[in-house]
Amino acid sequence: MLKNYSKFVTTLFCGFLGVVVAANALTPDKSFSEMENRNLAQKPVVSLNGLLTGKFMSEYESYVTDQFAGRDGWTAAKAAIELASGKQENNGVYFCGGSTLITRFDAPDAEKVEKNLTYINKFAGLSSVPVYFGLIPGAATVWADRLPEGAPNYDQKLVIDRAAQSTAAQFIDLYTPLMEHKSEEIFYRTDHHWTSLGAYYGYTGVAGALGLTPVPLTDYVKTTVSTDFYGTVFSSSGVRWVRPDSMDTYVPEDGVTVTSYTYDAQGNPVEVARQLYDESFLAKKDKYAMFLGGQQALGVVRTGHTDKPKLLLIRDSYSDSLVPFLTPHFSEIHLIDLRYYKQSAAQYIQDNGIDTALVLYSVPNFVSDTNLVWLGR
Amino acid sequence: MVFSSVFFLFTYLPIVLLLYYITPLKLRNLVLLAVNLVFYAWGEPVYILIMFLSIAIDYTHGLLVEKFKGRGEDRKARWVVASSVFFNLALLFFFKYWDFIAGSLAGMGLTFMPRLGLSLPIGISFYTFQTMSYTIDVYRGDARAQRSIVNFGTFVTLFPQLIAGPIIKYKDLGDQIDRRTHTAGRFASGVQVFVVGLAKKVLLANNLGMLWDTYKALPAGSLTTAGAWLGVVAFSLQLYFDFSGYSDMAVGLGRMLGFEFGPNFNYPYISRSLTEFWRRWHISLGSWFREYLYIPLGGNRVGKGRLFLNLMVVWAATGIWHGASWNFLLWGLYYGLLLAAEKFFLGRWLERRPVWFQHVYALFFILLGWAIFALEDFAQMGPYLAALFGFAGGGLWDSGFLYYFRAYLPMLLVAVLASTPAGKGVWTRLEETPKKLVLPVLLLLGLLISTCYLVDATYNPFLYFRF
């Protein structure tokens, strides 16, 4: 190589490193990534202990990668290259036809599934009121025919059947009503949750099991609240070439109040008012949190139908969009999230005059959940 | 710290290059030693002490060997060499093999060795071999003892080859440690080799590694014969591109700092025999064992029985060097037997067969060897090997195999092509002008695409935070 050309190559390489270093130095650090839905690592503080244990080093590496300039863009480019190289999945998400992204579901840990089922049986034994238990199949199973040809996919029906067979609670079949309507838009194409329409069919299943008469779908007026929802599967896939989802609501929120029970910084109990639909989330990335305002340890939905019974719902986030459909049938719906609520649910039933308890999880959440153990106390 | 990380590429490397080149020539080894130590301590803050110990021991041993040799006291010099070999092997034994032996003994009901549960200091297999070669080279008169502890420390800790080789003998590097030239030509060629290595590791090895991980994790009952072969092919390519990519990055970084390391891989998968394969695979390790173990044992100039024994000793050592586990020993002995067979009769028979047959023969045994190498658990290895030979729980093939085969086909084709000299052939035949135009485009693409994959690897959306 000629000397000048060598200098050019050297400059090119050092220039590339320099540009990236400068871009990283000039972009201000962010505290939260909307795309990844998590807090980003911040610059760690140097300490002797941190240096000796290596904690400082690993934190610093996390900081550099989390704050990397144009992080989302690099990730999107990688997904596009994967697609171009013939892949039909990226970061555990299948590229499906019709602008649909579906999170891959692999064989769950059978031991864990059994354990979680045992905790629910324990709860059914402890509870002074009837306990119902339902598992919601995810898009990977209901929309299995939309997956790439031959894509490995564990049938969630197997988990549901196992639960139905072994549970001491009264089992609710949600598989059948969802499968009957699988050609409709019952899941978001870019998010792992069911749509309000999907939640409605889930509601018909729940109502059937509880002996309630579901409100016919035709009685509702559908309201489209957003047409540019990009959900969690969109985020994790890195795929940026799909159409956004629409979000609808069916049930009017008139007369419904929501209270979230939590603690302030000093540890004193406080009550925060919430709404059935919090439209402020529609301006953010995490639009699904519009339903009941997202995560909470304990929330109570009061409907005004004071003559109706009280429901305790042990839930994951799928229930947030189901709750509106349940409002005509109950005076109060108490929502417990076991990740944050660490007291006895059986005791809660007694203390609050609950009439019916319902444990409702999506299969992917249920097989990986580590907090159901709290139900057995 | 690994080369294929965002932190290395965009924080560590720019700082090192900047510091190194603004320092006057005379002080560069001092800077290099300092950054080497940071490089090592970054992942192993406490084990840096072992590194210091190793440097101190071998530095003094080298000086002593030379002193005794100078006085004609050969016996004493030999004792010092023996002591150095002892210290190095003791370090290696203690950290790498203690728990393995203790565990194996416990399996037989012997519990006098407690298990220590120490983590393996990164690169210890590489740097103990390098420092051992130093005292031996000084004794043999192949190198002069290093007087400067800074220079010696720089040799032991040289970051480009510290944690994954190539294993560089002191006699090949000593002069460069003392004096080396820094030219734009060498830097630019270093850039090219580095980017090729980075792309090999990040784009090919990591990608094919995911395919292997899928098949490795499959329960025996759902493994198919076609899938088992696809898995082992993916692992073979992953290992080659991972390791040779890392060696390329080492060579490239070395050149950026003015060093010239020998090649470590030479298209091993185009070999026509296993003897040839080991001349092309991990060259620096093979040559280390040849020079410091096989030849001292008598090499080829011994009777057939002794030769067989020597080969088995060398290959058992080579096998167990790769990791403290029985499957690596088995893998080493597997090669010992095959290489002995080639030496004694198979090689001559093979030469008279058609070329395609020789390739098929070599690849078949290489792939089978990698299956033994990759599966540490014998309970998993058995069913996997059985699946390769048609006794698979899941039949010959299934829809999962077709899905993965289709999805990875382009990547596999690129990887197979890249493991032959075809690309190099095209490149060398290219005229100067198009070469000059294409090179910067390829370099930038390699860097940009690799960065995409490196950033993505740290991208972990936390979905279940809010369910």
A219-266 pLDDT tens trace: 999 999 999 999 989 988 888 889 999 999 999 988 899 999 888 777
Residue B418: per-residue pLDDT:
93
Among chain A residues, the shortest Cα distance to B439 is held by A9
Residue B460: per-residue pLDDT:
54
Boundaries of every domain in chain B: 6-180, 186-454
* Average pLDDT of the residues in B145-169: 88
Shortest Cα distance from A84 to chain B (angstroms)? 10
Question: How many Cβ atoms sit within 10 Å of the Cβ of residue A224?
Answer: 9
Residue A1: per-residue pLDDT:
60
**CA-based R_g, chain A, Å:** 24
Q: Name the token pair of A171.
A: 């089992």
The pLDDT of residue A2 is above 80? no
Shortest Cα distance from B120 to chain A (angstroms)? 15
Chain B residues closer than 8 Å to A52 by CB: 45-46
Distance, in Å, from the CA atom of B198 to the CA atom of B252, rounded to the nearest integer, reads 10
Q: What is the mean pLDDT of chain A?
A: 91
Cβ(A346)–Cβ(A126) below 8 Å: yes
Question: B38: closest CA among B22, B24, B23, B19?
Answer: B19
Dihedral pair phi/psi, residue A245, rounded to 5°: -90, 160
Boundaries of every domain in chain A: 21-69, 100-376
Among chain A residues, the shortest Cα distance to B404 is held by A151
**Residue % of chain A over a pLDDT of 70:** 100
Chain B residues closer than 8 Å to A34 by CB: none
* Average pLDDT of the residues in A181-193: 94
**Residue % of chain B over a pLDDT of 90:** 51
Among chain B residues, the shortest Cα distance to A89 is held by B407
* Residue B133, Cβ density class (10 Å: 0-12 exposed, 13-18 middle, ≥19 buried): buried
Residue B396: per-residue pLDDT:
86
The number of C-beta contacts closer than 8 angstroms across A and B is 159
Chain A residues closer than 8 Å to B210 by CB: none
Distance, in Å, from the CA atom of B95 to the CA atom of B21, rounded to the nearest integer, reads 37
Chain A residues closer than 8 Å to B5 by CB: 61
Confidence grade of residue B463 (pLDDT, cut at 50, 70, 90): very low
Distance, in Å, from the CA atom of A80 to the CA atom of A100, rounded to the nearest integer, reads 15
* Cross-chain Cβ contact B400/A152 below 8 Å: yes
Residue A62: per-residue pLDDT:
86
Distance, in Å, from the CA atom of A89 to the CA atom of A103, rounded to the nearest integer, reads 9
* Residue B173, Cβ density class (10 Å: 0-12 exposed, 13-18 middle, ≥19 buried): buried
Tokens 């004096």 found at: B179
* Cross-chain Cβ contact B188/A6 below 8 Å: yes
Residue A30: per-residue pLDDT:
87
* Cross-chain Cβ contact B455/A53 below 8 Å: no
Q: What is the mean pLDDT of chain B?
A: 89
Shortest Cα distance from A253 to chain B (angstroms)? 23
Residue B143: per-residue pLDDT:
86
* Cross-chain Cβ contact B455/A68 below 8 Å: yes
* Cross-chain Cβ contact A148/B5 below 8 Å: no
The pTM score is: 0.88
For A56-75, the pLDDT digits (tens) are 888 888 888 888 888 889 98
* Average pLDDT of the residues in B419-444: 89
Question: Which residues, 6 or more positions from B411, have their beta carbon under 8 angstroms from its beta carbon?
Answer: A85, A86, B204, B207, B208
* Average pLDDT of the residues in B217-232: 90
Q: For B204-225, b where at least 16 C-beta lie within 10 A, e where not — what string? A: bbbbbbebbebbbebeeeebbb
Confidence grade of residue B467 (pLDDT, cut at 50, 70, 90): very low
The pLDDT of residue B459 is above 80? no
Residue B427: per-residue pLDDT:
86
* Residue B432, Cβ density class (10 Å: 0-12 exposed, 13-18 middle, ≥19 buried): exposed
Chain B residues closer than 8 Å to A109 by CB: none
Confidence grade of residue B423 (pLDDT, cut at 50, 70, 90): confident
Q: Which residue numbers of B are catalytic?
A: 322
* Average pLDDT of the residues in B44-55: 87
* Cross-chain Cβ contact A89/B46 below 8 Å: no
Cβ(A233)–Cβ(A263) below 8 Å: no
The pLDDT of residue B465 is above 70? no
SS3 label, residue B316: helix
Distance, in Å, from the CA atom of A139 to the CA atom of A141, rounded to the nearest integer, reads 5
For B320-363, the pLDDT digits (tens) are 998 888 999 999 999 999 999 998 899 899 999 999 999 999 99
* Cross-chain Cβ contact A317/B467 below 8 Å: yes
Distance, in Å, from the CA atom of B372 to the CA atom of B122, rounded to the nearest integer, reads 23
